[in-house]
Amino acid sequence: MLSKNRYRSLYTLLLIVVISSFLIRTILLIKSLPNLDLTPFLLAKIYGVGLFFDCVTFSYAAVPFVLVTILLPDKAFNSKWFRPLAYLVCFILTYLMLFDAVAEYTFFDEFATRFNFIAVDYIIYTSEVIRNIRESYPVNWILAAIFILNIFIFPFVKKELDHSFGAGSRIGKRLKTGLAFLALPILSFAFVDTSMSQVSPNNYADELAGNGIYNLFAAFRNNELDFNKFYVTKDNKVVLARLRGLLQEKNNHFAGSENSDISRVIEHNGSEKHCNVIVIVEESMSAEYLTAFGNKKGLTPNLDRLAGESLFFTHLYATGTRTVRGLEAITLGIPPLPGTSIVKRPNNENFFSWGSVMKDKGYDNKFIYAGHGYFDNMNYFFANNGFDTVDRLDFANDEVTFTNAWGVCDEDLFNKVIKEADKSYQQKKPFFSVVMTTSNHRPFTYPGGKIDIPSKAGRDGGVKYADYAIGRLLAEAKKQPWFNDTVFVIVADHCAGSARKIALPVKNYEIPLFIYAPALVKPQRIDRMMSQIDIAPTVLGLLNFSYTTKFMGKDVLNGDDVPERAFISTYQKLGYIEGDKLLVLGPKREADFFSFTREDGNTTSIKPQDGLLLDALGYYQGANYIYKNRLNRLQ
């Protein structure tokens, strides 16, 4: 009888998963209403597809319970010791589902997505992340509140669970039912993936239709996506020929004749300028925070002043939404590949990179990071691509005045940058430093008394303190004997957020770029569109360097005929911008075409354009081919 059936424990688990997922989806739906063009049909799809993913999630979670239900004899299953154990397990499960609701809401509030590969990072790098969470939220109070709420909820679960005990069952019948349950996760593994939650062009609707727990484990499974399997492709010969055409520049020539060889010889007349180069990669410094881009809060007085003293690039796009994606683009000059950044992938050594060019020119290369460089595999990547690494472990006690979960404050970091520059200068070596900041990151804590916004007050304070620290860096650098021979490159790693109705909101990817060298570079405002992958070749062009390049980026100052294009991406979506057109490639072989306005980034669907698609594949499919065949490695 159903009233006394040990498989009722599985139905109880299904009930927990479905009800909690329904509540989470509803809460997130209410939060997303301003960004949804909600119709009854879309609402039905969100909840219908959502229920499907909830059931798929249950099928995986049920596996250990199915095995226990099949294998445990009646005497043990109905024993006095097993029932309390079952209660305890279910109490923990309901607690975890309540915790998941809080965690998903918090994650959605910051990233406007369900759990994804960012959440995977949060699990892998527990030390930094747990400390960051504790510094950002009243964790103990939240955990206690969940526990108390669970005490009131659990009696209803217990009542349902009690129907599992007391009845006898034959092993054959248990096995027959159990095998049916076990078939579900096998079928799900073979035929279900996260792309099936795409129910609308609206990115929020797609996120609501998914299941956060399922997405989390899917991100573990799919940290790389096979471009040729999941994306629109054309014949490699056609694509690579197109790529060579797109990479052709004035006064440069290809080193070989093979379509797959993108090596070009860059030649400049006159002597090279072996100036020092310091690249400041600013955490989350979106263009929207600068007065120069229309912000009215006055958060960036130093950067706003720098805009009139530098080569100020006003139309630069970040390639992605993560620090490692920005570092990849700036260092390797390659468009984003689907999945995780090359910085975090295995076998990421010995690339042709900005570091390899500078090393060949005799530079002392250093990657200097405020935190622990094992995070996101940064130290390994830079150490194996032409850099020495300096991170939190290399700071002496008297060099640290303030720390938080992510590392030392920006002021301490920049003081270290100056000390490392002094070391190279004393050794009579030009230096090339890539510096990664952390202060403009949740929990937004920094030394008190520096700015007029108190520590831990939110993003505005993080932005203003980061700007303050840049002002201090440049003021201190001006006192150094190497200042007049140094080029400062200041750029964001990515924007602070890219959450909008569409998967790739163009405007949100805009970030500032400053090239500051008052003794060497004449101030100018540059409004040309460019990508992070163009920064290295552009700076190398300013230094008048001649070299053989494998960059897929270009010197945007090398004549007005350089085509304007940029790349933006999420974990799965790849965007290609050309003029006022946007092409979005998706992992179900989708190719969606839009026009957009630069002022506000508003997009309008347009009919497919073969030329735009071929250009995009030239870069993206071409980059994938070159990466997979190791053609952008050092020989």
Inter-residue contact 550 to 354 (CB < 8 Å): no
Other Cβ atoms less than 10 A from the Cβ of 396: the count is 8
Of these ranges, 14-23, 58-67, 75-84, 482-491, the one predicted with the greatest mean pLDDT is: 482-491
pLDDT top residue among 129 and 608: 608
- Look at the alpha carbons of 100, 104, 105, 110 in this order and tell me if their dihedral is positive or negative: positive
User: Has residue 162 got a pLDDT over 90?
Assistant: no
- Look at the alpha carbons of 594, 597, 601, 603 in this order and tell me if their dihedral is positive or negative: negative
CA gap 434, 62 in Å, rounded? 48
User: Has residue 3 got a pLDDT over 50?
Assistant: no
From the list 604, 567, 588, 511, the residue with the least C-alpha distance to 335 is 567
User: Has residue 427 got a pLDDT over 90?
Assistant: yes
Q: What is the pLDDT of residue 2?
A: 41
Q: How confident is the model at residue 225 (pLDDT cuts 50, 70, 90)?
A: confident
Q: How confident is the model at residue 202 (pLDDT cuts 50, 70, 90)?
A: confident
Helices and strands of the chain, counted as H and E runs: 21, 19
Q: Is 355 helix (H, G, I), strand (E, B) or coil?
A: helix
From the list 626, 531, 589, 620, the residue with the least C-alpha distance to 336 is 620
Q: How confident is the model at residue 392 (pLDDT cuts 50, 70, 90)?
A: very high
Q: Please write the tens of the pLDDT for every residue from 5-25.
A: 777 778 888 888 899 999 999
Of these ranges, 116-120, 461-465, 571-575, the one predicted with the greatest mean pLDDT is: 461-465
User: Has residue 448 got a pLDDT over 60?
Assistant: yes
Inter-residue contact 544 to 473 (CB < 8 Å): no
- Residues constituting the chain: 635
Q: Please write the tens of the pLDDT for every residue from 313-360.
A: 999 999 998 899 999 999 999 999 988 899 999 899 999 999 999 999
278 phi, psi to nearest 5 deg: -120, 115
The mean of the pLDDT values for the chain is 90
User: Has residue 417 got a pLDDT over 70?
Assistant: yes
Which domains does the chain show, CATH number per domain?
Answer: 2-221 (no CATH), 278-553 (3.40.720.10)
What are the beta bridge partners of residue 577?
Answer: 566, 582
Mean pLDDT of 570-590: 90
User: Has residue 170 got a pLDDT over 80?
Assistant: no
Inter-residue contact 420 to 427 (CB < 8 Å): no
